[in-house]
C-alpha cells in the first residue's frame, strides 16, 4: 500500500520535481525510482509520431526500457556531474595515441581488406571521390574493422542521455530517430549496440547522421552500417562529401619546419597556398616534388606538439575528416593509416617525449588566456590548435620560450600571473 501511495504521489508532481525526488537517494523500489523516466519516455510519443514512428514501434522500443545512470556525461540531480570520459584523442600525447605498432597492424589488415573489398572500394571512390584507403582507415580507427564490439544498448544510451544528459535536446532527437530506424527496418533491435555517446555501426554514426549521410550501396534496400561493409564505407564517404571533401586533394603533407618557425601561426585561420609555405622554408619531409596543382592548394600549419615532433601542412580535407571526430590526433591517425596502406614509411620526424597536463590544468590555462584576451574558444581542457597558438602568444608576452605546448613551466607562469 505504501508503495502504491508513493507511485500515486510521484505521478502527481511535476516531472522535474519527481526527477529530483527519484535521484535524491531515497530508499524506494527500483520501479518507483524510474517512474519519472517512464513518464518522460511516454511524453515523447507525439514527437515520435510526427517523425513517422508508428505506435507499435514506439511501444516495442520503449517497453521495459530503463535508464543507465552509470553512463558518463550525465547531470543527475543531487549528485556531482559525471562529466564526459577522457577520450584518448584529448588526453594522450601523440607518441601514445599514434603508436607505430597499432598503426602497422591496422595498415596490414587494411591492405588485406582493400583486396577483399576492391570492387566496392573502387566504386565508392568513383562515385564519391574519396579514396578507399581513407574510409577503410575510418573503419579501422572506429571499430578495429568490426572486431570491437560496441558495449552499450544504443536505445538505452540515447534515452538516458535525452533524460539526464548534458545535451538533452540533441539526444531527444537522436532517440526518436533511433526508433524510426527500427520502424523503417534499417536495423534490428538486437544490433543497435553503441558507444557511451550513442554512436553505432561499423563506422560509428548517430541516428541523425545515418539519415543525413547513409547509403544503401549494396542495393538491398537498407542502409545497413552494422553488417554491410559497402554500406558502412559508402556512408562514411558520403558524410565526408557532404562536409566538403575535395576529390584529388591529399589530407595533409608532412613537412620540416624552418628553425625560426612561429608556432602561433598553427591555426585554421592562417591559411595560404602551399607554395607560399614552401617559399617560407617548409620542406616536404622526403623531398617529394609537389605539382603546380598541389602547390596552389590552400593549407594551414599543424604542429601537434608545438615546435616538437612532426609538422604538417593541412588541406581542406584535413578539416573535413576532423568533422568526423574533432581531434587533431584522430585525423592524423586516420590520414597516416590511409597512407600506410600503400607505403610502409612511418612519420619522418619522431614524436617527442612530451608529457600531457591534466585536463583541469589545461582548463586553468584556457581560462587565464581568455581573461587576457588571447583565447576565445571553448574552455574544455583540450590542448587543440587554438589553445596551443594562444599559449604561444602568451609565451611571447611573458618572455618564455615559445614552443606552443602546455607545459608545467607555462602553468607555473600563469599561476603566478596577476
DSSP 104-127: HHHHHHHHHHHHHTHHHHHHHHHH
Instruction: Please enumerate in sequence order all residues whose Cβ is within 8 A of that of 254, keeping only pairs 6 or more positions apart, or say none.
Output: 284, 285, 310, 311, 312, 347, 348, 349
Q: How confident is the model at residue 248 (pLDDT cuts 50, 70, 90)?
A: very high
| % of the chain residues with pLDDT over 90 | 79
pLDDT tens for residues 389-416?
999 999 999 999 999 999 898 999 988 8
What pLDDT score was predicted for residue 356?
Answer: 78
C-alpha cell at 202: 561499423
In this model, does residue 287 exceed pLDDT 90? no
**Residue range 347-366: mean pLDDT, rounded:** 88
- Dihedral of CA 3/4/5/9: which sign? positive
pLDDT of 196 above 70: yes
Q: What's the pLDDT score for residue 357?
A: 86
Percent of the chain with pLDDT over 70: 88
Q: What is the pTM of this model?
A: 0.88
Rounded to an integer, what distance in angstroms lies between the CA atom of residue 98 and that of residue 236?
22
Q: Identify the residue whose cell numbers are 609565451.
A: 395
**What is the DSSP pairing of strand 304-307 with strand 283-284?**
unpaired
pLDDT, tens digit, 9 for 90 and up, residues 289-335: 999 999 999 999 999 999 999 999 999 999 999 999 888 999 999 99
Does residue 80 have a pLDDT over 70? no
pLDDT at residue 1, rounded to an integer:
35
Mean of the pLDDT values across residues 136-151?
97
Predicted pLDDT at 382: 86
Handedness of CA 95, 96, 101, 103 (dihedral sign): negative
Predicted pLDDT of residue 5: 33
Average pLDDT over residues 213-242: 97
Please report where in the chains the cell 517497453 appears, as a residue: 63
| 406 close to 308: Cβ distance less than 8 angstroms | no
Q: 368-377: long-range contacts (C-beta < 8 A, 24 or more apart)?
A: 368/414, 368/417, 369/394
Residue with cell 549528485: 79
Q: In the predicted model, is pLDDT for residue 186 greater than 90?
A: yes
pLDDT, mean of residues 228-238? 98
**Phi-psi category of residue 25: left, alpha or beta, with phi > 0 → left and psi -120 to 50 → alpha:** left
Q: What is the mean pLDDT of residues 124-145?
A: 98
For residue 81, what pLDDT is reported? 60
Amino acid at each position: 500500500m505504501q508503495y502504491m501511495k508513493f507511485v500515486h504521489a510521484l505521478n502527481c508532481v511535476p516531472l522535474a520535481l519527481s526527477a529530483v525526488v527519484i535521484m535524491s537517494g531515497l530508499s524506494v523500489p527500483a520501479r518507483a525510482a524510474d517512474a519519472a523516466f517512464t513518464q518522460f519516455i511516454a511524453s515523447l510519443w507525439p514527437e515520435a509520431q510526427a517523425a513517422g514512428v508508428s505506435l507499435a514501434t514506439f511501444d516495442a522500443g520503449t517497453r521495459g526500457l530503463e535508464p543507465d545512470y552509470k553512463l558518463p556525461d550525465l547531470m543527475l540531480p543531487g549528485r556531482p556531474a559525471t562529466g564526459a570520459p577522457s577520450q584518448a584523442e584529448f588526453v594522450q600525447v601523440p607518441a601514445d595515441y599514434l603508436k607505430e605498432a597499432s598503426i602497422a597492424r591496422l595498415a596490414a589488415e587494411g591492405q588485406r581488406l582493400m583486396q577483399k573489398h576492391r570492387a566496392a572500394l573502387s566504386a565508392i571512390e568513383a562515385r564519391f571521390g574519396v579514396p578507399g584507403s581513407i574510409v577503410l582507415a575510418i573503419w579501422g580507427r572506429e571499430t578495429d574493422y568490426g572486431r570491437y564490439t560496441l558495449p552499450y544498448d544504443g536505445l538505452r544510451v540515447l534515452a538516458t542521455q535525452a533524460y539526464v544528459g548534458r545535451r538533452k535536446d540533441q539526444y531527444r532527437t537522436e532517440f526518436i530517430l533511433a526508433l524510426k530506424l527500427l520502424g523503417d527496418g534499417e536495423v534490428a533491435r538486437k544490433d543497435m549496440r553503441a558507444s557511451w555517446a550513442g554512436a553505432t555501426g561499423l563506422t560509428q554514426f548517430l541516428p541523425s547522421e545515418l539519415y543525413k549521410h547513409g547509403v544503401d550501396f549494396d542495393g538491398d534496400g537498407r542502409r545497413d552500417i552494422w553488417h554491410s561493409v559497402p554500406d558502412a564505407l559508402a556512408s562514411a564517404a558520403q558524410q565526408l562529401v557532404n562536409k566538403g571533401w575535395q576529390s584529388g586533394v591529399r589530407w595533409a603533407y608532412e613537412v620540416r619546419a624552418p628553425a625560426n618557425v612561429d608556432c602561433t601561426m598553427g591555426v585554421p585561420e592562417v591559411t595560404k597556398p602551399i607554395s607560399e609555405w614552401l617559399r617560407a622554408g617548409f620542406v616536404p619531409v622526403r623531398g617529394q616534388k609537389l605539382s603546380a596543382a598541389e602547390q596552389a592548394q590552400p593549407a594551414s600549419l599543424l604542429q601537434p606538439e608545438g615546435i616538437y615532433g612532426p609538422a604538417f601542412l593541412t588541406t581542406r580535407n584535413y578539416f573535413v575528416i576532423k568533422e568526423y571526430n574533432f581531434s587533431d590526433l584522430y585525423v592524423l591517425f586516420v590520414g597516416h593509416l590511409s597512407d600506410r596502406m600503400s607505403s610502409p614509411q612511418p612519420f619522418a620526424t619522431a614524436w617527442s617525449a612530451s608529457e600531457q597536463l591534466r585536463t583541469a590544468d589545461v582548463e586553468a590555462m584556457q581560462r587565464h588566456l581568455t581573461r587576457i584576451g588571447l583565447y576565445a574558444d571553448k574552455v574544455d581542457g583540450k590542448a587543440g590548435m587554438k589553445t596551443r597558438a594562444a599559449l604561444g602568444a602568451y609565451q611571447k608576452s611573458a618572455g618564455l620560450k615559445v614552443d606552443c605546448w602546455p607545459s608545467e613551466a607555462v602553468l607555473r607562469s600563469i599561476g603566478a600571473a596577476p
